[in-house]
Structure formats: structure tokens, C-alpha cells
Structure 1
Amino acid sequence: MNLPCRNAGNLSNITSSKHDEYSSSKTTGTRLRSFGPSSSQRSADPSFDVAMASGEGVSTRSGRNSEYRNWRTEVGERSSTSRKQTSSSDSVESATKKSPRTYRTVLAEHGLLVRDTLGSGSYSKVKLALHIKQNDQHNNPVERTYPDVVAVKIIDRRIAPADFQEKFLPRELETWPSISHPNIVKMLHYFTESHRVYMILEYIEYGDALRYVQNKGAVTESVGKIWVHQVTDAVQYLHERNISHRDLKLENMLIDQSSNIKICDFGFVKQCHDNDLSKTFCGSKSYAAPEILKGEPYPPKKADIWAIGVILFILVTGRMPFDETKGNSSLLAEHRKLDLQWPRGRRAVTGHCRALSLSCLTFLWAKRPNINQVLSHSWFKGQLKFSAK
């Protein structure tokens, strides 16, 4: 994948807010010196999802025979002989207590061979897994359930906070599987086994847009137009179904092999109508609308619009629009003033581009455009798809 980019200059201006998953007030404003740290270098971040998947270490179909043999050895031969063996319920219970089932064993029984770690958080981890061909007890091929490669998010309920399990996780599991849009990562399946929840997700090869911007610089306006249009189209799909994402940011925008954007991570998703107000102040400080920073009840859909304005600015400039390291009062003053530093000269963007970003960043949510008004903006005229390779 080789998209045209601008030279963004000092990329240290881009910051990332590591936020506590249930309180947007707990932001740190840590500056990123590089994108794409390895999983061992990442700090614990409960909101981390599939976004840092890089695609490295994915085996091809031709290289899976030895892996398959090792996998069979690990989980035990489930041959016809073993199926004929019987044991009492007491002995099974005793064996289970002595040898607790690992997540690898559980996933293997679903035809998934765990390979690499894509990311980890304080009570969750994301694994890369290969879908292995399986046969039934009569040695007939079992119909394949998943693509060849998937991402698996595993949540440990023993250590996950109670409010997460009671409020946020049920919403995510109820909403995400029902969503079907070309620019939204698919949740293929989920299940609970013992103390773990497993989410089987579509695997997106090229990581997140935030990493891309720091590695390559600000994208050209033509690329930014396509990406922002894809995000806006996906958000329109959600809003029409009375769903608000509430955590739109570059880290939750993944790039697929065709250079298209897919939104992921529905940990803060909420069912809401246009006039519904929320009192849950969640998300990342860098993308948080003024009403959230003020701690006022807010319409979640209008908060999504603000985040789109921030996303647009970052993509075409390579920097954050506001200084998130400041206190809320100073940050709100920046929101109200809206004195953004746009690139000049050869890197300058068109007036239509600036106008849409500023419109989305309208301080008063009542005057902020809705998603249909954003999608019908004049900036989106012209080429909105990448040329076929």
C-alpha cells in the first residue's frame, strides 16, 4: 500500500490520549515519539482493540501443514478412538480443576490456531488466529465459519471492572454483531467460555490511521477526502439506526489492503435518538466535544460530528488541532476561539476542506451540523474512491 502523503514536518505535535475506559477525565496526554510500538512495548490500555494489527507473521496457506500438526499435538488428538472413551462426571470435573482450559485450547476447538499477539490491555488481549480446516466425526469437511485469518479479542472477566461488564460490554456485544457496513470492522462471532469472552473479528491488515500519519505524514487532501467520506458514511449508517459510536479517533480507523478505512472498537457504543442526552463522559480527550469537557449532558450523535472534524484536521495537517495537555478550561477556550493552524504553500488545503472541518467543530452542539448535512457538504464532490490498481 502506497498512498500519496504530505510532509507533515514535526510529527511530535501529534499526541495520543491514553484514557481510562470509563472516565474521559483520566487522560494523560502522552506524546508519541513513534507509531507502531511492539506489543511488548505498549502500556496497558483497556481500550486497545484490533487497531495496531500490522499483518506481520501471518502464515500463508501453503505453510500451515506443520502448524496444523503442532496445533493438533497441543490440544490433543480428537480422533474417533478418543470420542469413544467415557468417563464419569466426577472424574471430568476433577480433571478440569487440575488442568484449566487455556484460551488456545478453547479457540482450537473452534478451529482457530492462535499465532501472534496484536495487542494487550489491563484485562484484555487481541490475538491473530488462523482458521484451520476441520473434519467431523465421519471425516467429512466441516463448513468453514471464518475467513483464513481473524483477530480475536479476549476479555478476562475475573479482572475486568464490574461497571464494564454490567454496562459497556453488553452494549458492545448486542450492537456490534448486528452492524454490516463496508467501512466498519465486522464482528463475526462471540462466545463466553468459563471466565473469558471471545470476540472473533475481521482482521484488517495495515494497522490504524494514526500510525500511518506519523509514519508517512499528513495525507494529501484527495486521500483525506476519501477517508473522511468513508468514516462519515459509516457514521451515517450508525446514526440512522440510532447508534452513536462515541469513540471516533484515528486509532479506531483501520486501513485495509485496498487502502480503505474501517471503523472498529464499539466499547462506548450507545443506542440513542437525535434528542437523547447522555451523562456518560467517555472517549479520548483529544477528540472530546466541548459539552463533554464541561461535564454537561450531551447528544452523543453531535459528539460524533465533533470527532469527525478533529479527524479531518489531523489527516490533512499531520497535527492535533488543540493542545490536550492543557486543563479543561484552557482547552475549552481553544475550542471556542477555533484558531487552527492550517498548512500553507504547496501543502495548503482548499477552502471547502477547511470549511467542513470548522463546521464540524462548531462550539455549540445545537448549531453543529448533523451527519446528513456533513455528508452532503460540497467538499465531498468529485472522486470518492481509490482508482483500481
Structure 2
Amino acid sequence: MQNNLKKNFLWNMIGMTLNSFNSLFLMIIVTRLNSLNVSGIFTLAFSIACLMLYFGTYSGRVFQVTDVNSEISDSDYVVQRIITCVIMLVISFGYCIIMKYDSYKFSIVFLLCVLKGLEAFADVFYGILHKNDFLYKAGFSLTIKSLISVVLFFVVDLFTRNLILTILIVDIVWVLVLIFYDIPSANKLSNFKLMWNQRNLNFLFKSGFFIFLINFFSVYIVNAPKYALDGRVADSLQAIFGIILMPATLVSLAIQYFVQPYLQKLALLFNELKKKEFNFLIAKLVLITIGLGIVCLVGAFLLGIPVLSLVYGVDLTSYKVDLLIIITGAIFYSMSIIFSAALTTVRYTFVQFVIYLITSVVGLVIAPMLIKNYGVHGATYAYFLIMISQFILYIIFYIALQKRLFNKRQGV
């Protein structure tokens, strides 16, 4: 299983990184080639599609990959993914109906949801590849899809200025790669046949339910202000908020990349019952995050608005304070991720569902109120309050629970 270790790491990192940054590239293309109103529709649609993605992936591939005894067949995982992807598209269609989108907005939202549905469906085949030590093939697939998508998106939108046609062509590319690469690659390793096993399907849906909810709410709280802006402000303002929110995503990703190597050490310290060292490492990671966050804030203060205005071709001079507030919120969000890793290490997952649920309710309540009173600036304030609320909840639960669990493991 070590033969492909280097290739697995390299191609998976490349594929995941490109896929993560696709939204940034596509947003730049849409904003530069189309009107700000169209850009606003796109950024909202992409956020909705990212939320719907978790109906498609449900609990993701972690359970699938860690099922070393193959208690559930590959066929069961594929059948479940077909069900969840169908549910995802039905919910996406229903959401567009409920929101009373016009045909143009409806088409963009739904086609992007289809794109994310294809991503969710491909992921189950990536799981088969991953489990059989061919993760590099999944990374290669994501790399090809990401690169072709960006290039085609740019070319088609440049010559047609038709966003619906552009997204449709990207959807077709993902379908072709899925049919001619993803499925055949997985089928060579598994040779699965689709069969309906109600017992195993029930088990998969039940065991992954709270993971699904945590993943779903984690995406919702980050984008709650965007959803609240929908229908309350002009699409052009939705675009502006999407632009100033983008650096927050990049800051969170950068900090996560930096702290990721320490997570395995957390598990080791917990297993060895080294409580003092465990808490010291958490404190160290928090301080590192704060330090990196301050660097990001200084950079945003000096260069943020000029660079964003240049890249997107939009005058953002009036939103310098908003950018700084949002990046501050992203720093709190990044610290929350550290406490999340700590609670996951000590095997507390249900409590994280409670945290995300409470935070989502906070966002659902305050975002519309603040946007009603302060417009797009209200979305900025809402983002900050949501992030700091989540951070405070994580600290409270971490302090309350980690001590109890260490005592339990020590037999106290």
C-alpha cells in the first residue's frame, strides 16, 4: 500500500487545491467578462451549489475509505450516492421554485447544482480508488476537470457572453470525464455491480447522518450572509460581497494548510493521556493562527482593496473596513477549526453538531436583520458575529468537555 504514496500525496494535493480555487478563478472570469449583476447571480448560485453538494456527498468518503473489512460493498456505496445525488437535484430544483427565481437565475443556479452533483457522484468512485491505494488517479481526475473547466469557461464566456451555455458546457466536460475515466478506473479495481441492499443502505444513511449535518451547517454558516442577501439587495451588491468575502476563504485555507501537520500529534498526545501537552499544543496552534491572521490583516489593510479592485475590475474603495472585518471573522473561524480538531480527536462529534446548529440559528436570525438595516455592510457584520459566536461556543464546550474525557480515560 506504500507503492503509490508519493504519487497519491502529490496528485491529490494538486487536484484538491485546484478544485478548491476554481470558484476564485471562475468568479474573476465572470466579473471581468460580464456585468456586475451577472457576477452577483453567479456568486450566489455557486454558494447555493456548494451547500447542495453536501446533500449529494452526504457523509463523504471517510467511512467508505476506512471500511477496511469491506462490511459494505462498493455497490452499496455507489447506490447510496445515486440516491443522494437524485435527492440533491430535487432539492435544488425545489429551492429555485420556492425562491421564485426568473428563468435566467433559475438556469444558472440549477446548472451549477448539476455540476456539484457530478462532483458528488464522482467522489464515490474516488473513494474506491482511494481505498485501493490509487488516490493519485482521483487527484489526476480533479486536476483535469479543474483545468479544462477554467479554460473552457473563459473561452466560451469570452466569445458568447452567455453564462448559461458556458456552465452547460462545463457540465458536459465533467460528465465525459466521469464516464470515460472515473467509472472505468474504479471498475477495474472493484468490478462492482449495482444491487439494492436495503439493510446496508439503511446503515449508511443512519451512520452518516450527523456527519452530513455537521458538513452541511459548516458550509451554511460561512455563506449565511450571502443567502440572506438574496432578494434583499441588488445582484451587483451580492457580487461585491462575494468579492470581499473571497479573501476570507483563502485566509482560512492558508491557515488550515499550516496547522494540518500538527493534527496527528494531537491524536498521539491524547492516546498517551498527556493532557498538559495536549492543551499546550492547542494553545500553540491558536497563537500561530492569531499571528498569521495579523499578517493577513496588515496585508489586507495595505494591499487588499487595490489588489481586489485590480483583479476584478471593480471599484471597492468603500469596502476597506468591510474587508478587514471579514478577515478578522475568518481568523476566528480558523481558530474554531483548531478546537473542532481537538474535539474530534477526543471523540466528541455530536456536540459539534450542536455548536453548528446554534451558530446556524444565529446566522439565520441576525443576517436578515442586519442586512435590512445596513445593506451589504450588514452582511459583513453578520459574518463577523457568526464566526465569533462559533468560536465562543467552541471554547465553552472545549473547556467543559475535554477535562471530563481525559478523566474518563484515566479511570477517574
Normalised-by-shorter TM-score class: under 0.3
TM-score between the two structures when normalised by the length of structure 2: 0.25
Question: As a proportion of its length, which structure holds more strand?
Answer: 1
TM-score between the two structures when normalised by the length of structure 1: 0.26
Who wins on radius of gyration, i.e. which is larger? 1
